[in-house]
Structure 1
Amino acid sequence: MARSRKGRAGRAAALGAVVAGLVLGGCSGGGHKGAEGLPDPAAGTVAAFDLDGLGGGFPLQRDVSDLPYGSHVAAGRGGAGYVAHRTASDGSTEILRLTSQGEVSRFASLGPGPTVFGLTALPDGSLAVGRGATLLRVTGKGAPAALPADHRFTGPVPIGARPDGSLVVLDAGQVWSVRDGHTSALTDAAGADGLGPGAVDGAGTAYVVPAGKNRLDAVRVVPPAGGTHALRVTGHLPGGSAPVSGLEVYTLAGAADGFYATAGTPDGTATYLIRVHGTAADVLAAFGAPAEAATCAAGHHYPALGNPCVMPYFALPLGDRVLLVGQSDGRAAGPALAVRAAPSPGA
C-alpha cells in the first residue's frame, strides 16, 4: 500500500496536488457509537465506521478517493469539515460539509472546469480552492469568485490560513502568502521537483514536504517571522528503536500547534498516524498489512497501536476526533476510522 501511495504522491506533487491529513486509534471493545452518528472512540483505540451511514444520501465512502486526484479534505471553523470530490468526467466538483455531529450537507457545487488542486478553510467561514491556475473563494452562497492576487499563479494549492488572515499557497516550487490581493514569496523556489503536501497550524507556521524528499525530517518549517528550516523531531516507532523521523510522509493536516501526518516505513510494511508538536513526534496509531484488512469491520473498535485496519488516505480533524477517510490503492472502499484527537501539550 505504501509503495503505491508513494508513487501516487510523486505524481500528485508533479501536478501540484496537495492534501492535508490524519487519524488515530481505538481498542477492542472500547468506546461506543455516539448519538450524534460518529463513533466515540475511547483513548488508545481506533473506531471503524461506515462513512455512508451518516445519512443524507451522500456516498462519501465511495466518492472520497485518492484517485484520480479529484478529492480533498479540509477542517473548518466550529468543528466542521469539508470534502471536495470530482463528480463527473467533465471536471465537475462538489463540496460537502460534515459537522462534528455527523451531519452531511452540500456546501457548494462547482461546474465543469480544471482539476481542483487544493482546499482549505478561511477565517471568515468561506473556503479557498485552487482550480487550474486560479484561486477561488467559495462561500456556499452563489458562484465561486476569484481571489484577488497581484501574482499570476500556474497551479496554486492553498494549504491554510494564518491568524492575520493571509492565505498560504504552494505554487511553482515556492510557498506564497496572499493577503488583501498582495502576494509575497515566503521561500525560495524548491527546485524542479517542486513541493508536495503542506499544512498550516493555528499559530501560522507552515509545514511543507519537498517533492521527492518525503521523509519526516525533510519537512520544511516556515514560521510567520521567517527563518525557514528543516523539521527536527525526536521519538521512536512502537516496539523498537527505529526513529519516527525516518518515516515517509503521505499527507499533513494542521493542528493547533504543529500537525498530524499519515506516514509509512520506506519498505511499505507499516503505516502510522503521528502527531508532531515542537520537536516531539508521537505515534497515535499503527495500522496492519493490507492482507489483514478483511478483519477490520465497521462498528468495531481496535487497539490503536495494533489493529488490522488499512489506513485511509485522508486525515480530517473534526471536533474532538480525527477522522481517516478515503479509499486508497484503487480497491473497494474500506471502513473510515476515527480516533480521539490528541490534546495540545500542557493542556
Structure 2
Amino acid sequence: MTLLSLLLTGCSQGHGSKHGSGPGIPEPGVGKIAAFKLHDLSSKYDLDKGVGDSLGGHVTSGRSGNVYVVNGDADSIQVLRVSPKGAVSRTATLGGLKRVYGMTVLPTGEVMLGSAGQLYKLDLHGKVSSVRSSHVFQHPNPIGVRPDGSVIVTDGDGIWSVNGAEAVHLYVEHDASSDAAGAVDASGTAYVNVAGKGFAELLVLSPGKKAEKVKVSGELPGSNGSISGLSPVSFAAASSGGVYAVATSHRDHAGYVVHVQGANGTVMAKAAFGKQRACRTGKPYPALDNPCSMPWFVVQSGNRVLAMGRASAELPPLPALVLRADKK
C-alpha cells in the first residue's frame, strides 16, 4: 500500500456530522478573559487530547475563523476543525504519518502539513496529497503564508520559502530547531523564535528585506519586568498585523498573551503558568488579573484570541481561554 493510500484512510468521512454544538465559545468584553472547556464543544472528538502535547499537537486557523487541531500523539492522527461557533468535525485521518511538525492554512482554505521529510496538502474534501519540492526537508514546520502564496517553513537548517515546487532558503541557522515557534502576518513578515532566545532576539523576516533579530520592547503589567525577558512558546498571525504569542516568564511563573508588531510588544492577558488553578468557566475575569492558568497554544478566530492546550499530554487538561482580539 502506498503512503498516499494510507493518508486517505478515513478521508471519506472528512465532512462528517458535527457534534457538540453545546454552549459554544464565550465572547468576553474588552479587557476581559473567559474560560471554557474544550470537552464541552464535542463529546465525540477529544480536543483536549489534540492540544495536550506541545510536540505532538498543533493548532492553527484560517481567514474564515475555523480553527484546526491536529493530535500528533494518536495512533491515527486526526485533523479536527472547530468553527467560530464551536462546532467540531473531523477533517481527515492521517493514517500514514507518525508525527506532524506543524501546519498552516492556505488562502484557499486548504491546510499545509509538515511531516518527516515531506510537506502535505489537505484539501477541502479531506484528501491529502504530497507536495513536490526542490528541497528535501528534514522535519518541516509550515508557519504561515505570504501574500504571494509562498509558504514559510522552518526546518533543522533554517527557514525556507516554498512556492509551488520551488524552495528558497531565506535564512540559515545551524542551531535552528524544526519545532521553532513562529507565524507569518498579513504583510508576509515572519516572526520566529529560531534559536530559543525568545523576545530578546526574535527573528523577523520581512519580504524583500534582510532578516533581523529584534529585542521586543514593552513593559509587563504589575512588575518591573520587560517583554524582552519572556520566552514565547507559540505564535499565531494577528489579522490587524503582527502576531500573537503565548510567552512565559520563569521569574514570576506566569504566562502572557502578547501582541507583537515589529519590535513593539503589548501584553493582552496574564495568567499563572504550569499549574492547575480554580478558574470558573463562563465567568469573565479581568484579562490581567484572573485565577486561570495559561494554556500553551494561541490562535485567532474571527474577533477572538484563543489559548488552549498543555505542554505535556501527561498533565490534566486546562480550561481554554478566550479574549477579544481588538481593543474596542
TM-score in terms of structure 1 length: 0.82
Question: C-alpha separation between the residues in 2 aligned to 1:79 and 1:289?
Answer: 27
Aligned-residue CA RMSD (Å): 2.1
Question: C-alpha separation between the residues in 1 aligned to 2:143 and 2:91?
Answer: 19
Question: C-alpha separation between the residues in 1 aligned to 2:317 and 2:266?
Answer: 28
Q: Percent identity?
A: 37
Question: C-alpha separation between the residues in 2 aligned to 1:210 and 1:148?
Answer: 25
Question: C-alpha separation between the residues in 2 aligned to 1:172 and 1:290?
Answer: 28
The alpha-carbon deviation at position 62 of structure 1 amounts to 3.5
Question: C-alpha separation between the residues in 2 aligned to 1:248 and 1:40?
Answer: 28
Counterpart among 186, 202, 216 of residue 170 in structure 2: 186
1:276-287 equivalences under 5 Å are: 276-287=260-271
SS in 2 for 1:79: coil
Counterpart among 50, 66, 73 of residue 63 in structure 1: 50
CA contact (8 A) 1:36 1:101 kept: no
Aligned in 2, Cα 1:280/1:326: closer, same or farther, shift over 3 Å? same
Partner of 1:136: 120
1:38 aligns with 2:21: no
Counterpart among 88, 100, 110 of residue 126 in structure 1: 110
The alpha-carbon deviation at position 40 of structure 1 amounts to 1.0
Question: C-alpha separation between the residues in 2 aligned to 1:133 and 1:145?
Answer: 14
Question: C-alpha separation between the residues in 2 aligned to 1:107 and 1:226?
Answer: 37
Counterpart among 259, 267, 271 of residue 275 in structure 1: 259
Report the more deviating stretch, 35-44 or 273-282: 35-44
Question: C-alpha separation between the residues in 2 aligned to 1:35 and 1:63?
Answer: 19
Aligned in 2, Cα 1:240/1:177: closer, same or farther, shift over 3 Å? same
Question: C-alpha separation between the residues in 2 aligned to 1:240 and 1:142?
Answer: 48
Partner of 1:297: 280
1:235-274 equivalences under 5 Å are: 235-256=218-239, 257-267=241-251, 269-274=253-258
Partner of 1:77: 63
Counterpart among 203, 214, 218 of residue 220 in structure 1: 203
Question: C-alpha separation between the residues in 1 aligned to 2:131 and 2:274?
Answer: 42
Partner of 1:10: none
1:83-232 equivalences under 5 Å are: 83-86=69-72, 88-89=74-75, 92-141=76-125, 143-187=127-171, 189-194=172-177, 196-213=180-197, 215-232=198-215
Counterpart among 26, 34, 38 of residue 51 in structure 1: 38
Question: C-alpha separation between the residues in 1 aligned to 2:121 and 2:274?
Answer: 39
CA contact (8 A) 1:296 1:308 kept: yes
The residue identity in structure 2 corresponding to 1:197 is A
CA contact (8 A) 2:199 2:214 kept: yes
Unaligned residue ranges in structure 2 (runs of 5+) = 1-20
SS in 2 for 1:163: coil
1:9-28 equivalences under 5 Å are: none
The alpha-carbon deviation at position 50 of structure 1 amounts to 1.1
Question: C-alpha separation between the residues in 2 aligned to 1:186 and 1:46?
Answer: 38
Report the more deviating stretch, 196-205 or 329-338: 329-338
The residue identity in structure 1 corresponding to 2:250 is P
Higher RCO, Cα 8 Å, sep 6+? 1
- Poorly superposed stretches of 4+, deviation over 4 Å: none
Q: How many residues align?
A: 305
Q: Deviations over 1:292-328 (max 9, x none)?
A: x432122222111011211111111111111111133
Question: C-alpha separation between the residues in 1 aligned to 2:126 and 2:25?
Answer: 30
Aligned in 2, Cα 1:40/1:130: closer, same or farther, shift over 3 Å? same
CA contact (8 A) 2:57 2:73 kept: no
Q: Deviations over 1:44-91 (max 9, x none)?
A: 111011112123622212332125x221011112111111113634xx
